[in-house]
Amino acid sequence: MEQCTVDSKRGRWILAATILASGMAFLIGTALSIALPTIQDDLGAGISGMQWVVSAHVIVLASFLLLSGSLADHFGRKRIFSYGIIVFVLGALLSALSKTIGALIAFQALEGLGAAMMIPGSLAIINVCFAESHRGRAIGLWAGLAGGIAALGPLLGGWLVETFGWQAVFYINLPIGLLAFLITLRFVPESRNPDARKLDLLGTLCITLGLFGIAYGLIRGPIAGWNNPLVLLGLIGGALALILFVIVEMRVREPMVPLKIFKNPLVAGANLVTLLLYFALNGLIFFLVFNLQQVQGYTPIFAGLSLLPPIILITFLSGPAGSLADKIGPRFQMILGPFIVAFGMALLIIPGVSANYFIHFFPGLVLFGGGMALVIAPLTKSALTVEPKFSGSASGVNNTASRIAALLAIAVLGAAMVSVFTSRLNTSVQNSLLSGEEKVQILSQSDKLGGIEIPDTFSEETRAAAEGIIKESFVYGFRLIMGVSALLALLGSGIAAVMIHNPASLKRRELT
Distant-in-sequence contacts of 351-360, Cβ < 8 A, 24+ apart: 351/291, 351/475, 352/475, 353/295, 353/296, 353/468, 353/471, 353/472, 353/475, 354/296, 355/296, 357/296, 357/306
Which residues fall within 8 angstroms of residue 469, CB to CB, at 6 or more apart? 425, 428, 429, 432, 442
pLDDT of residue 258: 80
φ, ψ of residue 330 in degrees (nearest 5): -80, -20
Asked whether residue 508 carries a pLDDT value surpassing 60, the answer given is no
Asked whether residue 296 carries a pLDDT value surpassing 60, the answer given is yes
List, for residues 119-146, the tens digit of each pLDDT value. 877 877 877 777 766 666 776 677 667 7
Asked whether residue 488 carries a pLDDT value surpassing 80, the answer given is yes
Q: Are 372 and 314 in contact (CB under 8 A)?
A: yes
Asked whether residue 208 carries a pLDDT value surpassing 70, the answer given is yes
* Interval 369-380 mean pLDDT: 87
| Stronger pLDDT, 390 or 310, i.e. the higher one | 310
What span, in angstroms and rounded, lies between the C-alpha atoms of 62 and 407? Answer: 9
What span, in angstroms and rounded, lies between the C-alpha atoms of 194 and 196? Answer: 6
pLDDT of residue 135: 66
What span, in angstroms and rounded, lies between the C-alpha atoms of 84 and 316? Answer: 29
Closest CA to 337 of 397, 385, 273, 381: 273
Dihedral (Cα; 18, 277, 206, 211), 10-degree rounding: -100
| Stronger pLDDT, 110 or 77, i.e. the higher one | 110
Least confident range of 131-135, 164-168, 258-262: 131-135
pLDDT of residue 510: 46
Helix (H) or strand (E) holding 242: helix 229-251
10 Å CB burial of residue 444 (0-12, 13-18, 19+) is exposed
Burial 317-338 (b: 16+ CB within 10 A, else e): bbbebbebbeeebbbbbbbebb
Range among 71-75, 372-376, 467-471 rated most confident:
467-471
Count of Cβ atoms closer than 10 Å to residue 211 Cβ:
26
10 Å CB burial of residue 7 (0-12, 13-18, 19+) is exposed
pLDDT of residue 182: 95
Closest CA to 351 of 472, 467, 170: 472
Cut 0.75: pTM above it: yes
Q: Are 116 and 68 in contact (CB under 8 A)?
A: yes
List, for residues 85-101, the tens digit of each pLDDT value. 999 999 999 999 999 99
What span, in angstroms and rounded, lies between the C-alpha atoms of 95 and 102? Answer: 10
What span, in angstroms and rounded, lies between the C-alpha atoms of 381 and 359? Answer: 35
% of the chain residues with pLDDT over 70: 94
What span, in angstroms and rounded, lies between the C-alpha atoms of 480 and 490? Answer: 15
φ, ψ of residue 4 in degrees (nearest 5): -120, 175
pLDDT of residue 339: 96
Burial 100-110 (b: 16+ CB within 10 A, else e): ebeebbbbbbb
Beta bridge partners of 130: 4
Range among 260-264, 384-388, 394-398 rated most confident:
260-264
pLDDT of residue 143: 67
Dihedral (Cα; 29, 69, 389, 261), 10-degree rounding: 60
| Stronger pLDDT, 512 or 394, i.e. the higher one | 394
Asked whether residue 270 carries a pLDDT value surpassing 80, the answer given is yes
pLDDT of residue 509: 47
List, for residues 11-70, the tens digit of each pLDDT value. 889 889 988 998 888 888 888 989 999 999 999 888 889 999 999 998 898 888 877 777
What span, in angstroms and rounded, lies between the C-alpha atoms of 216 and 415? Answer: 11
* Interval 189-202 mean pLDDT: 74
Calculate helix-pair angle for 414-430, 47-75, nearest 10 degrees. 170
Which residues fall within 8 angstroms of residue 45, CB to CB, at 6 or more apart? 39, 101, 448
List, for residues 350-361, the tens digit of each pLDDT value. 999 989 999 999
Q: Are 10 and 187 in contact (CB under 8 A)?
A: yes
Asked whether residue 511 carries a pLDDT value surpassing 50, the answer given is no
Positive/negative CA dihedral, 69, 73, 76, 77: positive
Asked whether residue 196 carries a pLDDT value surpassing 80, the answer given is no
What span, in angstroms and rounded, lies between the C-alpha atoms of 478 and 258? Answer: 38
pLDDT of residue 200: 80
pLDDT of residue 512: 46
pLDDT interval class at 197 (50, 70, 90):
low
Mean of the per-residue pLDDT values of the chain: 87
* Interval 291-308 mean pLDDT: 92
